A and B are shown apart, each in its own frame.
Chain A
């Protein structure tokens, strides 16, 4: 990347940050409300009634933080892309800036990931406030942040693939057909390693990159719960970033150029 590209990359990224800055409240509402209710119902209500074991909250919170980062990044990459590539073609002004088209795609993913990271990190204090008896030792903060960053990047890469392959008129089925299955097969609400009595579902979950983000989080935070070895999870996350990132960039070029 030469200096002109770098400068332009910065300017294009700044545009997205600038626009987000002015809609901070809607953004926070978008990323907090849904996971707040998940945590409250499953981690608080069901545990206090006694349907769910008391230590479930400490398994749930790492998964929800992983989910918020991954899905936040995915949605915040997919949605703007679908809008900007729809008939208004708002993205053209940036495609015509002195920067290569793949770098514009990288910027879109990086920005989506940034929003995912913020979405994940704001859930941590929210979780501590709602849930009883959950605390994360300071020594885990750094590795957790690293996992959140990687998880958000892979979410953004998958978001780029979806955003460049779903036509705008299909946006309504996106949630039902793509996001819901991703949410519930990502091992966010349960430890993957304990699914061995439900083998087919375990295999399905193993295909979802989110599983490895959740598992990596739990490997750090609740190491006594059976989990995938962290090096395997990290390897799969990084490989997924590469694979989906490359597919996403290819899709972006296909949409950008005729």
Chain B
């Protein structure tokens, strides 16, 4: 089956910037999935979407949408995708509904059909009572909804969303998330860029982590978090009953399956209890019985036990580093 989006060895350099914005990027998006491009600011996400939506010309490599080469045949590609950009680029000379109707007209949707569709989509996007409002007076969240509504007017097969929830309040964010989920149910392929881990983890079937214009990892959010070295942790709190914390840590680190033990300095250590974080190689459940056995051997009672799995954020920071952009 033709992938919905295919990017191969894509390179884009901007003038005045010696470092390429996109540097040999390749990935494929399957038809019908929600795909996230995750990366820090300046990683090359928006440039990649720019190439896929034909407004950025790559220096080399190729990009296709539904099998159509976007560089060689942009006009044909325009019929297949729609894009919701980061910035409000709505037509300020038109009102909300006219923005939708004219967009459909540019795409050859017949008069009766585009009027019907506009009303239906305005209703679905919660904009029915704002239809005649001027673009100048809509808020950021409403503008985002209008742009999504406009994008849907020509029934695209692939929808690109660049940072869909940046700057939105929690209600608007949730609303946008729900609409993305609806689109997936309708069979529309969605490609979104974000630096919001929770958003990516919640919405995306697969996530590509990008930095410095290169793909660092690509998989489902769950697989990405599993792949992190020392991927799971066990937190134990014990009452020490006179045993030195160092001795407990040493004993725990001898347990099979435990990679590393950290004593958690949690404020002024209250004489009697100690907190430890154990990094395990595989499932924590494997190491847990042995851990408990070692602790009872030292006569330390376990007062609290927690199992932590890393988040996508841990994967992200692990791959892209902590430095500020």
> How far apart are the CA atoms of A5 and B50 in the complex, in Å?
22
Contact with B along A84-122 (1 / 0, CB 8 A): 000111101111111111000000000000000000000
Check B105–A90 contact: CB distance below 8 A: no
Check B102–A11 contact: CB distance below 8 A: yes
Q: Does B83 contact A (CB under 8 A)?
A: yes
Check A93–B54 contact: CB distance below 8 A: no
Q: For the complex formed, measure the closest distance between the CB of A79 and the CB atoms of chain B, giving whole angstroms.
A: 13
Check B105–A14 contact: CB distance below 8 A: yes
Check B106–A8 contact: CB distance below 8 A: yes
Check A97–B107 contact: CB distance below 8 A: yes
Q: Does B57 contact A (CB under 8 A)?
A: yes
Given contacts A11-B102, A93-B150, A256-B55, is CB(A98)–CB(B107) below 8 Å? yes
Check A89–B87 contact: CB distance below 8 A: yes
Check B106–A94 contact: CB distance below 8 A: yes
> How far apart are the CA atoms of A95 and B90 in the complex, in Å?
13
Check B75–A93 contact: CB distance below 8 A: no
Q: Does B197 contact A (CB under 8 A)?
A: no
Binds A, one of B91-99, B163-171, B291-299: B91-99
Q: For the complex formed, measure the closest distance between the CB of A35 and the CB atoms of chain B, giving whole angstroms.
A: 26
Residue from the list A4, A15, A88 in contact with B102, Cβ < 8 A = A15
Residue from the list B56, B89, B93 in contact with A89, Cβ < 8 A = B89
Q: Does B189 contact A (CB under 8 A)?
A: no
User: Which A residues are CB-close (under 8 A) to B74?
Assistant: 100-101
> How far apart are the CA atoms of A96 and B50 in the complex, in Å?
11
Q: For the complex formed, measure the closest distance between the CB of A88 and the CB atoms of chain B, giving whole angstroms.
A: 6
Given contacts A89-B87, A93-B89, A97-B78, is CB(A257)–CB(B107) below 8 Å? no
Check A98–B108 contact: CB distance below 8 A: yes
Q: For the complex formed, measure the closest distance between the CB of B92 and the CB atoms of chain A, giving whole angstroms.
A: 6
> How far apart are the CA atoms of A19 and B53 in the complex, in Å?
27
Q: For the complex formed, measure the closest distance between the CB of A10 and the CB atoms of chain B, giving whole angstroms.
A: 9
Q: Does A12 contact B (CB under 8 A)?
A: yes
Q: Does B79 contact A (CB under 8 A)?
A: yes
Closest to B147 in A: A93
Q: How many residues of A contact B (CB 8 A)?
A: 26
In the complex, chain B residues 50-74 whose Cβ is within 8 Å of any chain A Cβ = 50, 53-57, 74
Q: Does A258 contact B (CB under 8 A)?
A: yes
Residue from the list A88, A92, A257 in contact with B57, Cβ < 8 A = A257
Closest to A9 in B: B106
Q: How many residues of B contact A (CB 8 A)?
A: 31
Task: Give the secondary structure class of A's interface.
Answer: helix
> How far apart are the CA atoms of A19 and B102 in the complex, in Å?
11
User: Which B residues are CB-close (under 8 A) to A88?
Assistant: 87-89, 92
Check A92–B85 contact: CB distance below 8 A: yes
Given contacts A7-B108, A98-B78, A98-B79, is CB(A19)–CB(B94) below 8 Å? yes
Check A87–B87 contact: CB distance below 8 A: yes
Q: For the complex formed, measure the closest distance between the CB of B118 and the CB atoms of chain A, giving whole angstroms.
A: 15
Residue with the greatest number of chain B CB neighbours at <10 A, chosen from A7, A96, A256:
A96
User: Which A residues are CB-close (under 8 A) to B50?
Assistant: 258
Residue from the list A11, A90, A101 in contact with B106, Cβ < 8 A = A11
Check B55–A92 contact: CB distance below 8 A: yes
Q: Does B155 contact A (CB under 8 A)?
A: no
Check B90–A90 contact: CB distance below 8 A: yes
Given contacts A5-B75, A92-B89, A93-B150, is CB(A257)–CB(B55) below 8 Å? yes
User: Which B residues are CB-close (under 8 A) to A93?
Assistant: 89-91, 99, 102-103, 106, 150
User: Which B residues are CB-close (under 8 A) to A87?
Assistant: 87
Check A96–B53 contact: CB distance below 8 A: yes
User: Which A residues are CB-close (under 8 A) to B108?
Assistant: 4, 7-8, 11, 98
Residue from the list A15, A90, A256 in contact with B92, Cβ < 8 A = A90
> How far apart are the CA atoms of A89 and B92 in the complex, in Å?
10
User: Which B residues are CB-close (under 8 A) to A92?
Assistant: 55, 85, 89
Closest to B83 in A: A96
Check B75–A99 contact: CB distance below 8 A: yes
Check A98–B105 contact: CB distance below 8 A: no
Check A98–B75 contact: CB distance below 8 A: yes
Q: For the complex formed, measure the closest distance between the CB of B107 and the CB atoms of chain A, giving whole angstroms.
A: 6
> How far apart are the CA atoms of A19 and B92 in the complex, in Å?
10
Closest to B91 in A: A90
Check A95–B55 contact: CB distance below 8 A: yes
Q: For the complex formed, measure the closest distance between the CB of B78 and the CB atoms of chain A, giving whole angstroms.
A: 5
Closest to A257 in B: B57
> How far apart are the CA atoms of A11 and B107 in the complex, in Å?
9
6 closest cross-chain pairs (CB), A and B: A97-B106, A11-B105, A258-B56, A19-B93, A89-B89, A98-B78
20 additional A-B residue pairs with CB within 8 Å, beyond A96-B54, A99-B75, A99-B106: A4-B75, A8-B106, A8-B108, A11-B102, A11-B108, A19-B94, A88-B92, A93-B91, A93-B99, A93-B102, A96-B82, A96-B83, A97-B107, A98-B78, A98-B108, A99-B78, A257-B55, A257-B57, A258-B50, A258-B56
Could you show 16 A-B contacts with beta carbons less than 8 Å apart? A14-B105, A15-B91, A15-B102, A15-B105, A88-B88, A90-B92, A92-B89, A93-B103, A93-B106, A98-B76, A98-B108, A257-B55, A257-B57, A258-B50, A258-B55, A258-B56
